[in-house]
Amino acid sequence: MFPLFDLSLQLNGFPMKEAKAELRKIVNLSNEDHKIFIETKKQEIVKFHLENNSFYQQLVGSKTYGEWNYLPILNKTNLQSPLLERLSKGYSQKDIFLNKTSGSSGTPFIFAKDNYCHALTWASIIYRFGWYGIDFNNSYQARFYGIPMDFIGNKKERFKDFLSHRFRFPIFDLSDEVLEGFLNHFRIKKFDYINGYTSSIVLFAKFLQNKNIVLTTICPTLKVCMVTSEMLFEEDKILLQKQLGVPIINEYGASELDLIAFENPQNEWQVNSETLFVEILDENNQAVPNGTEGRIVITSLCNKAHPFIRYDIGDIGILDEKSTLQKPILKKLIGRTNDIAVLPSGKKSPGLTFYYITKTIIEDDGNVKEFVIKQTKIDTFEVEYVSETELNLVQIQKIEKAIEIYLEPNLNFTFIQKNTLERSARGKLKQFVTFIK
């Protein structure tokens, strides 16, 4: 098949041939050479932005710096200023890749990448998907994503889908009637892989479970499924593997950066050490030992148009003890820093703890399709859920007992049955949100 995907990127000014060649060189470095490469790229990118980016100069406070650890931590609030104030000298909106973050962290902003950095981003994605025999020029993707609803935005996204050899399943309406339509597409189209938001694909898998269908029996060309943007629980992974009939690959990325971690064929969540430098830091911005949780702070080693140096992405995670500089392994992604619930006792708990406890109980019979948890007061939570029948008293009592054991007593929960749950403009489902400042 004609390499339409690569060609479309190349024609848009993104030098894919050069980027792919450089990535191959980086991947094939020895351990020692990779260490030198990382240190060199760190120094180069800081030096470049201190000399060419007034925004970063102001953040650092000078045009020179001493040790890496003394560089400031860049956060999303810093980036909520006009883009033109943050662009490096020599770059304009005509010769960069421009985009906006989804705002799932609650702090959306516009960002830029220079064209070569964006090409390297795609080279990195293509390389990792290639671990599973997926070729963006040839492999046919079933895409579970949102889509702009305005006419121009919608047509633009559909044209991108055509160039990228993918068929999009819009996820704003996931009723059984709509999912039946999705299923019919799998009957007649030769999809190679599924890619999309975790919660939407899980909902489709539950639909398949209710119909007692394994997807590969009606779409035997299907090889693999990549889930992204939302937490993947082990129970959901088991369900997906069973109902889709293919390996489930966990992806963790950020549009302003690159793929951050991608599950490799050895079932390790391998961190990108080719275009990024990932640190896990404590509250004092000091690196923690591998195996210890902390804030995920990331440096883009190649973006000259816009600095992402020691950028606090807003997530909490743990690097595996066996991690090396060349092959870091993400042991666990705990959640977002703004998804922490502060309880009446003063205890702090990731919001996903509530989600996990509730999930294990109310999904026993498959009645509840999906749900979100909202903290409205320090001791009060609302659970909004979609189900065929309302939760009964026994189920609610089980949840309350589990919460008392795993968290603390005297927390108030209200359960609200809904027809659909509110998603972001891009179709993401925010599983926990706190309204406590």
Task: Name the DSSP letter for residue 256.
Answer: T
Predicted confidence (pLDDT) per residue in 198-244, tens digit = 888 998 999 999 999 999 999 999 999 999 887 788 889 999 999 99
Among 101-105, 115-119, 154-158, 321-325, which is the least confidently predicted range? 101-105
| pLDDT at position 277 | 98
Mean pLDDT confidence for 418-423: 84
The residue among 330, 321, 266 whose CA lies nearest residue 298 is 330
* Residue showing tokens 């293509």: 126
Tokens of 163: 């160039």
pLDDT of residue 420: 85
Neighbour-count burial for 345-376, b at 16+ CB within 10 Å, e otherwise: eeeebbbbbbbbbbbebbbeeebbbbbbbbbe
391 Cβ contact list (under 8 Å, min separation 6): 362, 368, 385, 415, 417
One-letter amino acid of 125:
I
Query: Distance of alpha carbon 369 from its chain centroid, rounded?
Result: 22
Place of tokens 């060649």: 21
* DSSP-assigned beta bridge partners for residue 333: 317
Amino acid residing at 323: S
Mean pLDDT, residues 307-328: 95
- Return the half-sphere exposure (C-beta side, CA atoms, 13 A cut-off) of residue 280: 24
Paired residues of 250 in beta bridges: 227
Would you say 316 and 296 are in contact if contact means Cβ atoms under 8 Å apart?
A: yes
C-alpha to C-alpha distance for 413 and 258, rounded to whole angstroms: 38
Spatial distance between the Cα atoms of 144 and 182, rounded to a whole number of angstroms = 10
Cα–Cα dist 84/262, whole Å: 32
So what's the pLDDT on residue 356?
65
CA 145, 6, 44, 278 dihedral sign is positive
Of 94-108, 279-293, 308-322, 339-353, the range with the lowest mean pLDDT is: 94-108
Amino acid at 363: E
pLDDT band at 405 (very low <50, low <70, confident <90, very high): confident
Which DSSP symbol is given to 390?
Answer: P
* Residue 406 confidence (pLDDT): 77
Local confidence band at 291 (pLDDT 50, 70, 90 cut-offs): very high
335 or 46, greater pLDDT: 46
Does residue 334 contact residue 293 with C-beta atoms inside 8 Å? Answer: yes
Q: What is the pLDDT of residues 80-90, one digit of tens each?
A: 788 889 999 99
Query: What pLDDT sits at residue 272?
Result: 98
pLDDT at 96 over 80: yes
- Each residue of 335-373: pLDDT tens digit? 765 567 888 988 877 676 776 677 666 665 567 777 888
Q: Where are the domains of the chain?
A: 4-335, 343-434
Share above pLDDT 90 across residues of the chain, in percent, rounded to a whole number: 58
The hierarchical CATH code for the domain 4-335 is 3.40.50.12780
CATH number for the domain running over 343-434? 3.30.300.30
